[in-house]
Structure 1
Amino acid sequence: MVHDFWFTYLVTMFVASIIPGPSMMLALTHGMRHGTSAAAVSGVGNVVASLIQAGVSMAGLGILLTTCEPLFMAVRYAGAVYLVWLGIGLWRSAPPDMAPASLSGPRSAPLRKLWLDAFLVAMGNPKAIVFFTALFPQFIHSDSITVRECTFLAGGLAVPAFAAWMIYALCGRRVAGMFSGSGIGRWANRVLGGTFVGLGVGLATNRG
């Protein structure tokens, strides 16, 4: 990678990561319902999925995904179904205790499930691989990528992606501190659940 482009690459990845989408909405939800510590665990799941997608792109398999429409659509529909499933589950779940007094104490959360949710939501977006396939050649010297360049690309992806995730999680936790009462918590569940259903439907019907 050309060192002069290193800062540009970091900024590009941060901007791409922080744009509102299914993963960032999930970060907001996890921060609101489970706290920043639990959201950090799920953030690792999001980063791991992104690194796998980046690896697929570096290996040249991203070209297969972009040229094989059935494979692309299969990944897209699987991601859409999972988003809808998350949304319905969130809509029907019990309202969280979002009173300010609860923010100071530890909150139990199924960390394995949070990690898996973040991982699967990120993996269900095939456009990420398409994006990496188009972006990486701009920051590589030649047609053959080196181990050093792979390390730079992976590190420059992981750090901004995790930072963007935690920004949304912190915002979610701050918003939760403004709410109290099961009525507000129930409506928060419905708004977030409806948002995930809408994102899933949009992902399935978007032809772009």
Structure 2
Amino acid sequence: MSFNFIMMFSMTVFIASIIPGPSMLLALTHGIHYGAKKSMASAMGNVTITFIQASISIAGLGTILMASETAFQLIKWAGAAYLLYIGISILCSSEMSLSTKNLNRSTKKNSLTGMYLQAAFVTAGNPKAIVFFTAVFPQFIDPGMAYFYQFCVLMTICTFIAFSCFMIYAICGQKIVSLFSKDMVGKHIKRIIGSTFIGAAIGLAASNK
């Protein structure tokens, strides 16, 4: 695989990953609540499912999912329901004050395992990622080269980019805490994030395959 080939693949995956979506919104939320350092646990949850989704696509199983309307819809509706749950939970939460003191207190309330699982569930609830990988991978597979080698290279790039994009949003969330340490601002941001999660849920549920 040439350097230009790898760079083209990397840019394609990066652009698709950095675009705001449910996973990146969760990264921003965890960055606000728990800080960038703790959000690394969430990033690993996102990376784990991204690795599985990409592996499914490379293995050719993504084509089966794309052909199965029932399986696709089940995953999509489960993901939409979970996003709706997160959005309502944020809107109904008692407080979301933006201060380092509350950030440290929030960190104690949630375990790293809980953050990992929440990110994993949000990522897994978007079957479109499998569709994306299924469409993209064949464009970058060279039939004349060892398949396993190409698998390792492409998967390494995917997981690295997924982790990096998640942490970019988490760091931005932490910066928000330091820039806007006011209760009123925190309430507005809570409403915006909660409403965005609900909007993402509706959008995912209403979207066509």
TM over 0.5: yes
Q: In the alignment, what sits opposite 2:70?
A: 70
Q: Which amino acid letter does the alignment assign opposite residue 159 of structure 1?
A: F
- What is the CA deviation profile of residues 46-67 of structure 1, one whole-angstrom value per residue up to 9, with x for unaligned ones? 0111000011111111001111
Q: Which amino acid letter does the alignment assign opposite residue 126 of structure 2?
A: N
Confirm or deny: 8 A CA contact 1:103 1:177 kept in the other structure.
no
TM-score computed with the length of structure 1 as normaliser: 0.92
Question: How far off its partner does 1:179 sit?
Answer: 2.4
Residue-pair matches, total = 208
Equivalences for 1:45-194 in 2 at 5 Å? 45-99=45-99, 107-108=107-108, 109-142=110-143, 146-194=147-195
* SS of alignment partner, residue 24 of structure 2: helix
Q: Which amino acid letter does the alignment assign opposite residue 74 of structure 1?
A: L
Report the more deviating stretch, 23-32 or 189-198.
Answer: 189-198
In structure 1, C-alpha distance between the alignment counterparts of 2:162 and 2:60, rounded to whole Å:
22
- What is the CA deviation profile of residues 43-100 of structure 1, one whole-angstrom value per residue up to 9, with x for unaligned ones? 1100111000011111111001111111111110010000001111111113234225
Report the more deviating stretch, 58-67 or 99-108.
Answer: 99-108
In structure 1, C-alpha distance between the alignment counterparts of 2:121 and 2:10, rounded to whole Å:
24
Q: In the alignment, what sits opposite 1:33?
A: 33
Q: Which amino acid letter does the alignment assign opposite residue 115 of structure 1?
A: Y
Q: In the alignment, what sits opposite 2:15?
A: 15
Confirm or deny: 8 A CA contact 2:34 2:107 kept in the other structure.
yes
Confirm or deny: 8 A CA contact 1:100 1:179 kept in the other structure.
no
TM-score computed with the length of structure 2 as normaliser: 0.91
Question: How far off its partner does 1:144 sit?
Answer: 8.8
Q: Which amino acid letter does the alignment assign opposite residue 74 of structure 2?
A: A
- What is the CA deviation profile of residues 140-195 of structure 1, one whole-angstrom value per residue up to 9, with x for unaligned ones? 11199621111101101011111111111111111122223433323322221111
Confirm or deny: 8 A CA contact 1:100 1:178 kept in the other structure.
no
Change (3 A) 1:60 1:144: farther
Q: Which amino acid letter does the alignment assign opposite residue 91 of structure 1?
A: L
Q: Which amino acid letter does the alignment assign opposite residue 132 of structure 2?
A: F
Confirm or deny: 8 A CA contact 2:97 2:187 kept in the other structure.
no
Q: Which amino acid letter does the alignment assign opposite residue 128 of structure 1?
A: A
| Structure 2: 5+ residue stretches without partners | none
Change (3 A) 1:201 1:143: farther
Report the more deviating stretch, 73-82 or 141-150.
Answer: 141-150
Report the more deviating stretch, 153-162 or 171-180.
Answer: 171-180
Confirm or deny: 8 A CA contact 1:28 1:171 kept in the other structure.
yes
Confirm or deny: 8 A CA contact 1:94 1:186 kept in the other structure.
no
Change (3 A) 1:84 1:145: farther
Change (3 A) 1:73 1:144: farther
Confirm or deny: 8 A CA contact 1:10 1:156 kept in the other structure.
yes
- Higher share in helix: 2
Confirm or deny: 8 A CA contact 1:42 1:117 kept in the other structure.
yes
Change (3 A) 1:75 1:179: same
Q: Which amino acid letter does the alignment assign opposite residue 135 of structure 2?
A: A
